[in-house]
């Protein structure tokens, strides 16, 4: 951008120096004064000549030569009088060089929409007529040929009817009249036929003159880029340069302004919003200024119509614009720094602007940019201290409610991929993953294993058996290398189920040991079975009771 601005500044400085040097050129004022005097002398000579012409015509009007020509002579006098008045006004204006309009009483003009629209749309209609001139000319010729062709049969029928009458007519007077009428119709017939042939040749010449599509496109493009195309391209370039220049200035202000370094206050946000609207207005003005400079009233009229239509349509969108402005000013439903849920995933609203930034640091690719309109249906709230942003992190071990147990390989706003303990991988859409209420085993976990003994051991199931299981599980896990991972072990009688007396073994495991969850669960089951075998305790099986209804005799 600096490469663009620097040459423009240098050009303006050189232009100003050139202007000063021209004004300072010695003798320039004297030359201009002499030129003005020559112009005044020329105007005065034209005024005297016009006065002489008026006097001569008036003299002729009073003389006998003016009899019968009064109306024509008075028209000439009026025309010359108007010319003399215009020359005198030009003489006065050139002599005094002041704006005389300040001395004139301005009449209140009535706004006439028909006239205004005609002046505005006139250039556009003229251009459309030019573009469609050839097709309309061809269609006009075709219509004329069809009209002439339709007249020929009618004339031929009239001539044939006259021939029939002449064959049966014996009166000399009537026969002469019929022959004269026949000659008249035959003349008309030949005249119409000749006109039709000429029009047909002209149409064929126009059609043969038609150029190929490639040549026509080439000529259209050449014409376009010589006039309209050049104006359109330069106008859009002016719009883009103005917009990005102001955008670059805004970025510099945001970077170096002390008010933008700290938390963005309401006044700073109001300034940013006003700067955006001002940049848009100035960019449109630059676009229109280029068209006005080149005098392209067609494109200028189209641009003005477009802006008027845009303004008219925007009245419906005023509530939408207002709601978006509230978001930028940070008193809308979503505010910077607060927690917002987007597509079922929590984010922190890091920045709210034309394109807002939402961040979840727990996700890979957890930065998303949203247009301002997408924030209108969202709601945010302040962040609670220590509030989690996602139930897991990459490489954590998790247990899902569907029974899946594995290590998180990757988690993004769209997908979570697990490497399962049993082998293989599985991927979940992130919303489905959250719906399965994942338990993060890497944060530490409680492993609860239920083990049942037979009802015949009921006398010792609440006293002796829990103690033996407690000591056996602790020693067994220590032997298998899990002793340092345990924080505590607790064994209690749980319940009397229909087929067994159940004991629950709870082991609290430290953090970052999620990969041992399934191994330890299986180890506890195995230790409990070995302990029952060692002490002769019976492990029951599921009992099934069959109820028989008595037969009806």
CB 469 within 8 A of CB 505: yes
Q: Which of 409, 431, 430 is nearest to 420 (CA)?
A: 409
Counting every residue written for the chain, the total comes to 553
DSSP string, 91-119: HHHHHH-S-GGGGSPPPPPPP-HHHHHHH
> Residue 485 contacts by C-beta under 8 Å, 6 or more apart in sequence?
509, 510, 513, 516, 520
CB 220 within 8 A of CB 211: no
Using alpha carbons only, how large is the chain's radius of gyration in Å?
50
* HEC string for 297-355: HHHHHHHHHHHHHHHHHHCCCHHHHHHHHHHHCCCCCCCCCCEEEECCEEEEEEECCCE
pLDDT tens-digit profile, the chain (553 residues): 444 444 443 344 444 433 444 344 445 567 777 777 777 778 788 888 888 888 888 887 778 776 777 788 888 888 888 888 888 877 777 666 655 555 555 555 555 556 655 655 555 566 556 656 667 777 888 888 888 888 888 888 888 887 787 777 656 667 777 778 888 888 888 888 888 888 888 778 777 766 555 655 555 555 555 556 677 778 888 889 998 888 888 788 877 777 666 666 667 777 777 888 888 888 888 888 888 887 767 677 777 777 777 777 766 666 777 788 788 777 788 988 899 999 999 999 988 887 889 999 999 999 999 988 888 889 999 999 989 999 999 999 999 999 899 999 999 999 999 999 988 899 999 999 999 999 999 998 989 999 999 999 999 999 999 999 999 999 999 998 888 899 899 999 999 988 899 999 999 999 988 999 999 999 999 999 999 999 999 998 765 444 444 444 3
């Amino acid at each position: 951008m600096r490469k663009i601005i620097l040459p423009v500044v240098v050009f303006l400085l050189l232009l100003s120096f050139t202007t000063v040097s021209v004004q300072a050129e010695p003798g320039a004022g004297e030359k201009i004064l002499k030129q003005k005097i020559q112009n005044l002398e020329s105007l005065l000579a034209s005024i005297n000549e016009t006065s002489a012409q008026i006097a001569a015509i008036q003299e002729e009007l009073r003389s006998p030569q003016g009899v019968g020509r009064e109306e024509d002579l008075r028209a000439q006098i009026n025309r010359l009088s108007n010319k003399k008045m215009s020359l005198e006004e030009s003489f006065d204006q050139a002599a005094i060089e002041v704006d005389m309009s300040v001395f004139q009483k301005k009449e209140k003009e009535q706004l006439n929409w028909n006239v205004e629209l005609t002046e505005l749309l006139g250039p556009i209609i003229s251009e459309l007529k030019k573009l469609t001139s050839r097709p309309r000319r061809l269609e006009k010729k075709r219509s004329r040929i069809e009209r002439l062709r339709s007249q020929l049969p009618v004339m031929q029928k009239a001539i044939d009817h006259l021939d029939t009458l002449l064959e049966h007519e014996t009166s000399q007077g009537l026969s002469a009249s019929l022959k004269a009428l026949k000659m008249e119709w035959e003349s008309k017939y030949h005249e119409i036929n000749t006109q039709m042939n000429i029009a047909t040749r002209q149409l064929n010449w126009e059609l043969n003159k038609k150029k190929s599509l490639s040549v026509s496109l080439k000529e259209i493009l050449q014409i376009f880029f010589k006039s309209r195309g050049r104006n359109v391209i330069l106008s859009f370039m002016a719009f883009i340069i103005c917009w990005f220049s102001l955008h670059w200035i805004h970025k510099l202000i945001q970077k170096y302004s002390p008010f933008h370094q700290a938390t963005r206050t309401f006044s700073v946000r109001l300034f940013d919003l006003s700067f955006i609207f001002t940049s848009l207005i100035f960019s449109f003005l630059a676009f229109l200024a280029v068209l006005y400079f080149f005098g392209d009233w067609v494109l200028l009229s189209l641009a003005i119509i477009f802006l008027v239509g845009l303004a008219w349509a925007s009245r419906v969108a005023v509530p939408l614009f207002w709601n978006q402005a509230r978001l930028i000013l940070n008193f809308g439903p979503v505010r910077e720094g607060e927690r917002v849920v987007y597509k079922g995933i929590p984010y922190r609203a890091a920045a709210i602007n034309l394109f807002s930034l939402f961040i979840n640091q727990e996700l890979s690719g957890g930065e998303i940019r949203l247009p301002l309109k997408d924030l209108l249906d969202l709601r945010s709230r302040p962040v609670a201290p220590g509030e989690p942003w996602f139930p897991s992190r990459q490489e954590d071990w998790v247990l899902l409610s569907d029974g899946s147990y594995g290590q998180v390989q990757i988690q993004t706003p769209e997908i979570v991929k697990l490497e399962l303990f049993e082998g293989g991988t599985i991927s979940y859409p992130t919303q489905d993953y959250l719906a399965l209420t994942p338990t993060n085993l890497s944060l530490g976990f409680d492993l609860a294993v239920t083990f049942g003994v037979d009802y015949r051991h009921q006398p010792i199931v609440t006293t002796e058996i829990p103690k033996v299981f407690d000591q056996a599980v602790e020693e067994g896990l220590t032997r298998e290398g899990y002793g340092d991972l345990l924080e505590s072990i607790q064994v209690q009688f749980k319940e009397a189920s229909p087929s067994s007396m159940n004991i629950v073994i709870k082991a609290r495991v430290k953090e970052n040991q999620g990969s041992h969850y399934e191994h330890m669960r299986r180890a506890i089951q195995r230790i409990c079975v070995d302990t029952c075998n060692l002490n002769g305790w019976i492990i029951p099986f599921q009992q099934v009771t069959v109820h028989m209804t008595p037969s009806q005799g």
